[in-house]
Amino acid sequence: MGYKRFNIERQFDVQSVVTLYAKWIRDGRFKLDPSRNKEKVTLHDPCNVVRKAKIDQFPGIGDDARFVLSHVVNDFVEMTPNRENNFCCAGGGGTLINGFARARSHYGMVKLEQIRRTGATLVCTPCVNCFDGINNIAMAHKEDYEFEPVHLWTLLANAIVLD
């Protein structure tokens, strides 16, 4: 964004790894077996990246994540709301390190209920901060919620068939 702000022409492209995964699958780089990921999976759209997609930093990243999941899992269920309207993981914007763990845990209940409604046992997130945010609030309420976060690359790696 700094290059854009100061009107400097970049000598490189910036892409999300999610977009690269989708491109690699479209290009046929991988032989995939989605049956290797046996659990029901839902997708947390990362606030930072997916909402920025609406301002043209990473256009299509929400669709790319769904494209990847459609090739690496058999049992995918959407959260509602989703994409740029998704609820926060309670870990973004620096809140993971702000010292207000009880407040994050409390406000994260909105996210936990959203996940619970899907019936998924795995919550896929392409963002490491969201992974930690969802893991932290799930651990704080582990007696009431039975799911765990999983990185998108983990599901992709599980589905790759090596000849």
User: Which domain CATH number covers 60?
Assistant: 3.40.50
C-alpha to C-alpha distance for 101 and 6, rounded to whole angstroms:
37
Residue 49 has pLDDT above 80, yes or no: no
C-alpha to C-alpha distance for 33 and 79, rounded to whole angstroms:
24
Residue 113 has pLDDT above 80, yes or no: yes
Residues 6+ apart with CB under 8 A from 118: 40, 42, 77, 78, 79
The number of domains in the chain is: 1
Cα Rg of the chain (Å, integer): 17
C-alpha to C-alpha distance for 65 and 126, rounded to whole angstroms:
8
Res 139: pLDDT: 84
- Containing structural domain, residue 143: 37-159
Burial class (CB in 10 A: 0-12, 13-18, 19+), 36: middle
C-alpha to C-alpha distance for 148 and 52, rounded to whole angstroms:
26
Triad 106, 144, 78: Cα angle to 5°:
85
Q: Is residue 19 part of a domain?
A: no
Confidence of residue 80 (pLDDT cuts 50, 70, 90): very high
Q: Which residues pair with 149 in a beta bridge?
A: 123
The pair of three-digit structure tokens given for residue 51, joined into one six-digit string: 């909402």
pTM over 0.95: no
The pair of three-digit structure tokens given for residue 121, joined into one six-digit string: 């046992």
Residue 42 has pLDDT above 70, yes or no: yes
Res 26: pLDDT: 97
Res 54: pLDDT: 57
Q: Is residue 149 part of a domain?
A: yes
